[in-house]
Structure 1
């Protein structure tokens, strides 16, 4: 599924592992005033298409979405997992990427240790193995992602979106997440880039995002106070102002 609105230069929105295109609706409306905005479901997330198990294929699918519409270049905004896909697009399809906005994300999975990877996957999949479904997982994990000053609408919006994620796609994407590592490629990503972090984010802490910004030739970090990992929903006005300002820069 995609959500599309507006006219002008194209902005492609890529959601996180527990998101859907629908989670971007406020951003589609905010940016659609002066941009052509597309929010896409990750492959498999709507249950109507197969999930993909590697970042190259997901980045290629996002690139194909643009080229199928005759779009030669776009600004890419990626949150969390979507930020990883955005980095992958910048490496694999640099000609399609005008600017990058990387939100609450990382250039690599947390550890190369196989034991850490296995423990991570076991912990994330255990609730599903016990049968609570994606709605149950959403009720468990979303509250812990929020910062102290989160907008009251962030919790119900994020919970509703995650509850509709296809379980099989979520499991496949969890495994894919543990394979990501583009740290060595950061110095080669030449697009002007804005990194946005949440002050209280423990999943993608600002200190890690600062290291990523330092490794990229044309990147800077902005930290939004009082919010956590879901900052587009937690601080929508500050988020949209930062993105719109960055995209409008000469």
Structure 2
């Protein structure tokens, strides 16, 4: 574990394994621990870098613009002595990856966006408006209590309820400030890649779940139409956090893609 210095804020990160570097950027929660289901499989072949977004986890408090968050990834790579990495981002972490590809393209060996979007549509906005109302009117515990309903398939929730209850308690102890969460939600809903997406010139994999009820798979298909030569990988089941629900399926696709790029 180590701390990189990025724009006057300390960024917590960890490095595991050896091989071609892969940096993993989490979604709204911001914690590198989101990628625990990927860590063992990836670290057998790659140098895996996990980090906590500024304002979350063990990184400094506060918040960043999307450009600032992209710069933070570059700072982590600098501190870890990495010139270029496969950059993998889930949801808003994917948007950070997109911004990095536009601002610092030489720092990416490839880009992988999981359940992401290039522009929020009315459905996605409504989902996040509801989540903000829960957070602001009922508090972090209510927000976290409802979170699995947006992330996981119903049956998986039922079968893993004890784990989810324990995870809720852990996340509540480390929950970012309400102001930080509001700023993060507003910032990523405002993101619009627009015509800039056509400038992305690194190998790109866009992965999504057809049963994602938070960020529908059609948003991934729209993103694919905007990024030159982007490849789409869809799974049938697993919802928004299918990397947690069916990690083996995602890990296999990710490893295959990285290996192809590294050839």
Return 5+ residue gaps in structure 1 as ranges.
Answer: none
Superposed displacement of residue 86, structure 1: 0.4
CA distance in 1 between partners of 2:215 and 2:39 (Å): 24
In structure 2, the residue matched to 1:137 is 143
Report the secondary structure of 2:224's partner residue: helix
Residue of structure 2 equivalent to 1:147: 153
Contact kept? 2:54, 2:64, Cα under 8 Å: no
SS at match of 1:197: strand
Structure 1 position 158, deviation (Å): 6.5
CA gap 1:205/1:48 in 2 versus in 1, 3 angstroms: closer
Give how far 1:27 is off: 1.1
What's the TM-score once normalised by structure 2's chain length? 0.83
Aligned twin of 2:241: 230
Deviation of the 1:47 alpha carbon? 6.2
CA distance in 2, matches of 1:86, 1:160: 30
Counterparts of 1:90 and 1:158 in 2: how far apart (Å)?
Answer: 33
Tell me, yes or no, if the aligned pair for 2:22 and 2:88 is still in contact at 8 Å: yes
Q: State the alpha-carbon separation in 2 of the partners of residues 142 and 92 from structure 1.
A: 33
Higher RCO (CA < 8 A, seq sep 6+): 1
Write out aligned runs for 1:113-192 (5 A).
123-133=130-140, 135-147=141-153, 150=156, 152=159, 156=164, 159=168, 162-163=171-172, 164-167=174-177, 168-192=179-203
> Which moved further from structure 2: 160-169 or 179-188?
160-169
TM-score normalised by structure 1 residue count? 0.87
8 Å contact 1:77–1:103 — kept in the other structure?
yes
Runs of 4+ in 1 over 4 A off after TM superposition: 119-122, 148-155, 157-162
| Pair 1:93-2:99 in alignment | no
**Structure 2 gaps, min length 5:** 1-11
Contact 1:149 1:234 in 2 (8 A): no
- What's the RMSD between the two structures over aligned residues? 2.5
TM-superposed deviation, 1:69 = 1.9
